[in-house]
Structure 1
Amino acid sequence: MKCRAAFLLMLGLLSGGASADTVWKGTSVNSITSGTGDILEDGGADLRLSAESTGTEKFVGAITSMDARPFQGREVRLAGRLLVEDGAGSAALWVRADGANGRLAFASSAGAPVRAGVGAQARELRLYIPSGTTTLKLGVTLDSAGHVAVQGLVLTAEAATSGGVSAYDMVEYALTTIRANALNAGNVDWSAEEKARLAPALKSLPAQEAYGSIRAVLDLLADRHSFLQHPREADAYRQTAVASRDIEARQMQDIGYVLVPGLRGTEASAGEAFTSQLCEQIERLAPTSAKGWIVDLRQNTGGNMWPMLSGLQPLLGNGNIGASRDRNGTATAWRPESRRACGVDLSSSRVAVLVGPKTASSGEAVAVAFRARPGTRFFGQPTAGLATANRSYPLPDGGALRLTRAVMVDRSGEAYPDGIKPEERVSSDQDAIDMAAAWLR
C-alpha cells in the first residue's frame, strides 16, 4: 500500500496534482473517439472508438500518451473490458514504451481479439518499461468499420521481478542464438554488436531491460519476421490456440467456398480441433462441389501453420506440398499429419486461392503450399511478404525468441521473398469471389 501511495503521489506531482479526464486522439482521420474518466484513477476511463471505414490503413485506433518517468523500471498493467457493438472486425488493447530513438517495448491483446456478438470481454496487458523510456503510449484498435466501447480502462504499475536472471544473461544468450541460427545472420557485424551490447553494467539490471537491446539486433537482420515474446506472452502462446475468426464454409451452387483464418498458439488439443473442423467442412461440401473450390486466405494473418495445412490436406494431397530452406540450402519438407476426418481425396480438384496484404506468415505458408499445384490459380492482391519460417528459442527468463531461420519454398523449389503475387489482380471495385467462381466454371 505504501508503494502504491508513493507511486500515485509521484504521478500527482508530475501532473500538477489534479485529476482530469484522459485525452484521446484518433490514429487517423477515420477514427472517431470520445471518452470520460482518468485511466490513472481507481474507476478508470470509458472510451468509445468508431469508424465508417479504415481507409487505406489496416485499422483505426484511439491513442493517449504520457510522461514515462514514473513508470521507468516498473511493470505496467493495462486492463479493461472491450465490447464490439457491430462490424466484422476485432478490437484489441495495446501499450508501447518509446525512447529517444523509437519503440523500446510493446504489448497488444490482438492475439486474443474481441469481436462483435460475444459481449463485453475483459483484456489485460503487462509490460516492463525500460529505463530509457521517455513516453508511454496506449490505446485501442479496431481492424474494420464498426464501433467498440472500452469500459473501466485502468493503468497501474508495480515493481518488476527479474527471477534471478540479469539483462547480461539475456543478451549473451540471444546474441549467440541469433548468430548461430538466423537466416540473415550475415547482415550483422557481430564483433561490433557484442562489444556494444554486452556491457558489464547489464549484470546488475533485471532481465526485462534486455528486450530493447535484443530487438535492436533483430532489426539488423532485416527479415521483418523475427520477434520476441515476454514470459507471459510465451506461456499464452504455448497454452492456447485461438483462431483470428471463425472458419467459414458454404456451398456456392457447384463450388465449395472455405475461409481459413489464422490460428495463434500451439496448444495441441485446440490445434486438433481446428484441423478437424476444417476437414469436416470440406468433406461436407465435397459431394456438391464438382466445379472446384475457393480457398480464401485474405484474412489469414498467420500463427501455427500445421493445423491449417493438415485441415486442407484433402485439397493439398499427401505428396510434396512445400518446404523450409535454411541459410545453408538445407530443405525440410512439410509433412502435415493425416487425420481421420480428412478421408476425402480432392487433390485433383481445381482450386482458386484468394490472397491479399493481410495474408501473412503462416497464412503465406498455406498459400505457398498451393503454389505449383496443378489446377490452381491465385486471385487478389500481393501478400505481406513474410513467407519465411520461424523457430522458437526459450530465453533464460521464460520468454521466447521467435527467430526467422528459413525461407518457404513451393513444390517446385521457388521462394517468395517479396510475397506471393496472384495471377489475377483484383482491384477494390471488383469481387474476388465472383472472379474466382467464373474461372472455376
Structure 2
Amino acid sequence: MAAPSQPADQLPDVRKEILQLLERGALHRDQVDWPAARKQLQQTKDSAEADKLVDQLIARSTAGHGLWIRASAMSTPSGRMQRLARPEQLRRPSVAATASGPQRGQSGQADPIGWISVPYFKEDSTAPSSVRNQQTVTFARLLQSQLKAEDAINRCGWIIDLRANRGGNMWPMLVGVAPLLSTDAKRREVIGAFNIGATHQIWSIQSGRVLLEDRAPVELDSKAYVLRHPAPPVAVLFGPNTGSSGEMLALAFRGRPGSRSFGQMTAGYSTANMPTRLPDGGMLLLTGSVAVDRNLRGDGGKLKPDVNVSDTEDASIAARRWLMEQPSCKALRAT
C-alpha cells in the first residue's frame, strides 16, 4: 500500500541539494532553465509531484544517465547498486559444433580462440571502503583468473564479450582485461579518457596497472597476469544491452591495433557518473563527463560496431571468422 504523499515543503532540502549539484556539474546543465526549475519546485506542494519533477530534471541534464537513489532504497541490494559477479558469468557460452568453427564446450579446449565475458559489476556502495576495495579487487582477479584458465592452451586470438555488460564500476573491469588491452608492456599506453569540458583525464595502462592520470583506482593484490602471446588480435562483442561502463570498456579497445568490434549499437550511455551522497542518506549518480577512446574520440552516445551483425545472428560467428584470418591464427593453422 502506497504511503500518503506529504507536502513537499515539509521534507528535507534534499531536492534543493540535487538541483544545486545538477546545475553545478551535470553534463547537459545548459539544457535546463534552473531559476525556472527552482520556482516550479517551490510551487509544487505534493511530495510525489516534487520527486517526479526532480527526476525529470536529472534525466534532462544528464541525457537519461543520472539517477536519484532514495534513502529508503539504499538498504536494498539494488539501491546499494550491488552487482557482484559470479565466476560462471565470465566463461564462454557452451554451444554445439557449427559449420563456422570447431566444437567448443565450456572449457574451449578444442578452440584456438580464447574467450572472456565481462558482466556488469558494482560493489556495495554502503559498505566500508575496505570492503568495497576488496570487492573490486576480487572481481578484477576473477577476470584475470579466467583469462589465465583460457590461456592454458595455445590461443591465436581472443573474443571479449560485453553484450550483457550494463555498467557499474569500470576500473576492475579494465584491470581484469588489462592483459588483452595492452599492446606493448614496455611503455605506458593511453586507452581512453574522461572529457570534462576541454580537460582530459587520461586512462592508461603500464606494466599491467590501469591508471587514471597517475593514480591506480584498483590495485591487484598479486602480480598481474601476462598472456602467453602478448598483444593478440581481439574481437569485441557488444550490443543494445552494453551500457555505461560496458561502453567504456568497448571504447578502451576502440583504436587498439589488432582489435575489431562486432554486434549492434550500444545503449548510448558512454558518459561517466559520480556517486554523490545526499544529506538524507540517499545518493545521486551525477553524470559529469564524456568517455572517449584512446584517440580521444567520443560523444557520449551510442557506439557503432566496426562490423554490424543483425539481432538474428550471433556476432561471435563473424568475430571468429575475422580472427581466423589474422596472421597469428593463420600461422597456428599452418602448424
Same fold (TM over 0.5): yes
2:85 to 235, 239, 243: 243
User: How many residues align structurally?
Assistant: 280
How far is the alpha carbon of 1:392 from its aligned partner?
1.1
| CA–CA separation in structure 1 for the residues paired with 2:143 and 2:254 | 20
| CA–CA separation in structure 1 for the residues paired with 2:149 and 2:255 | 26
1:214 is matched by which residue type in structure 2?
V
Partner secondary structure for residue 430 of structure 1: coil
Identity, in percent, stands at 34
| CA–CA separation in structure 1 for the residues paired with 2:319 and 2:45 | 60
Partner secondary structure for residue 354 of structure 1: strand
Partner of 2:63: 223
How far is the alpha carbon of 1:175 from its aligned partner?
1.1
Partner of 1:409: 292
- Asked if the contact 2:252/2:293 (under 8 Å) is kept, the reply is yes
How far is the alpha carbon of 1:234 from its aligned partner?
3.6
2:165 to 291, 300, 317: 300
| CA–CA separation in structure 1 for the residues paired with 2:49 and 2:20 | 18
Q: Are residues 1:310 and 2:193 paired?
A: no
Pairs within 5 Å for 1:29-428: 71-73=2-4, 130=5, 166-167=10-11, 169-199=13-43, 210-221=50-61, 223-234=63-74, 236=77, 240-243=82-85, 246-249=89-92, 250-251=107-108, 253-266=111-124, 267-317=132-182, 319-326=189-196, 328-334=197-203, 335=211, 337-339=218-220, 340=222, 342-345=224-227, 348-428=231-311
Larger Rg: 1
| CA–CA separation in structure 1 for the residues paired with 2:189 and 2:153 | 25
Partner secondary structure for residue 89 of structure 2: coil
Post-superposition CA distance 1:406-432 (Å, at most 9, x none): 010010010143311111111234332
| CA–CA separation in structure 2 for the residues paired with 1:229 and 1:282 | 35
- TM-score after normalising by structure 1: 0.58
How far is the alpha carbon of 1:347 from its aligned partner?
5.2
Give the RMSD, CA atoms, in angstroms: 2.7
Structure with more strand by fraction: 1
- Asked if the contact 2:29/2:62 (under 8 Å) is kept, the reply is no
Unaligned stretches of 5+ in structure 2?
Answer: 93-106, 125-131, 183-187, 204-210, 325-335
| CA–CA separation in structure 2 for the residues paired with 1:434 and 1:183 | 38
- Asked if the contact 1:409/1:415 (under 8 Å) is kept, the reply is yes
- Asked if the contact 1:322/1:410 (under 8 Å) is kept, the reply is yes
How far is the alpha carbon of 1:232 from its aligned partner?
4.5
- TM-score after normalising by structure 2: 0.75
- Asked if the contact 2:159/2:235 (under 8 Å) is kept, the reply is yes
- Asked if the contact 2:276/2:286 (under 8 Å) is kept, the reply is yes
RCO higher in 1 or 2 (8 Å CA, sep ≥ 6)? Answer: 2
Post-superposition CA distance 1:161-185 (Å, at most 9, x none): x9xx953511221111110110100
| CA–CA separation in structure 1 for the residues paired with 2:52 and 2:14 | 11
